[in-house]
Structure 1
Amino acid sequence: MFNKELVDAVRDKMIARKETLAVAESVTSGYLQAAISNAKDAKDFFQGGITAYNLGQKYRHLLVDPIHAQACNCVSEQVAESMALHVCELFKSDWGVGVCGYAAAGKESGGEMYAYFAISYDNKIINSGRVESTKKEGEETQIYFTEILLQQLYAYLLQNPD
């Protein structure tokens, strides 16, 4: 289901660097956690993750600004950044990934499927942005977003030598 070579490459870099990762997700529904936790020796770098769908849980666990989040239905770059930063605090990890968005083309998303993501390292956002999907709604789009996040994370691990 997931690109095993990519997951293994992320694992290898994390272990070589002696660093850890945690993830906070909503639109991907735990697929990112599933991909990473299936890596061999995941316990050596993966601290864990949280899937938080609603504003109350995003605020409570990930300190997302409730006024901003309510105004954008919890889907924005700012929300993803807060998720990435605060999941590191929650799990005491070096790296954090946050993702929120829409895996179905509904009224709230303007008929589009997209996600905002953020990657944090050492308490700073190092990458964030928006990714769009033309895949089939639901699981196919969730898996697509998961693959994009893994690619983005790996690219930043490559930019910073072990």
Structure 2
Amino acid sequence: MVYDKQALDALALALIKAKESIAVAESVTAGHLQAALSGATKALQFFQGGITTYNIGQKTRHLSVDPVHALEVNSVSLKVSEQMALGVSRLFIADWGVGITGFASKAPAIGEMSLYAEYVVVKNGIMVHSGRIDAVKEEDSFKVQVYFTNQVLQILVTLLQGKIC
């Protein structure tokens, strides 16, 4: 399995036990979080769904991302990720929301040579955690996307187990 099964199982168990749900808004991970969560044991009991938005227009239309700010930062910032997380939790009526954006491949045309993701986790409309994940090595974009996905799954487990806030 390409996704962290141990983290998925722990996440599923924690969400089901708490009777809470989750939805995700993705850009850099291109649907990998949705694929991972939908494949978890008893996913129907906690996974509300998700959305992948690659451009500013779709982020603004579906997730209420501020287009002026998004243009200034090439859609990659904690503020954009927070707006994505808040938007998806509202859109899917979920207790938890995750927003993630970044670069899984270099973008020399805009001067971005680093591979990283900015993510935000919200619960009941309030940001509870945010951060940046740097790719540990330069690989193809698929491997980088999976790496970011697994990192977010592990972060979610830690949050749900009350170990970080």
On whether the aligned pair clears a TM of 0.5, the verdict is yes
Equivalences for 1:68-83 in 2 at 5 Å? 68-83=69-84
Which residue number corresponds to residue 156 of structure 1? 159
Separation in structure 1 between the aligned mates of residue 111 and residue 35 of structure 2, nearest angstrom: 26
Pairwise CA RMSD: 1.0
**Take 1:142 and 1:109, find their aligned partners in 2: how far apart are those partners?**
20
Tell me the CA shift for residue 109 of structure 1: 5.4
After the TM superposition, which of the residue ranges 108-117 and 34-43 deviates more from structure 2?
A: 108-117
| Structure 2 portions without partners, runs of 5+ | none
Kept in 1: contact 2:4–2:153 (CA 8 A): no
Asked if 2 retains the 8 angstrom alpha-carbon contact of 1:7 and 1:39, the reply is yes
Structure 1 runs (4+) deviating above 3 angstroms are none
**Following the alignment from structure 1 to structure 2, what is the Cα–Cα distance between the partners of residues 135 and 38?**
27
Aligned residues: 160
Shift of 1:135: 3.9
Partner of 1:10: 11
Percentage of pairs with the same residue = 45
Match of 2:143 in 1: 140
Q: Is contact 1:105–1:137 with CA below 8 Å preserved after alignment?
A: no
Q: Which stretch shifts more, 22-31 or 101-110?
A: 101-110
Aligned to 1:130: 132
Q: Which amino acid aligns with 1:145?
A: F
| Residues 109, 8 of structure 1: alpha-carbon distance in 2 compared, 3 angstrom cutoff | farther
Q: 1:109 to 1:35 in 2, by over 3 A?
A: farther
The whole-number CA distance in structure 1 between the counterparts of 2:10 and 2:34 is: 16
Q: In the alignment, what sits opposite 2:97?
A: 96
Q: Which residue of structure 2 lines up, in the alignment, with residue 25 of structure 1? A: 26
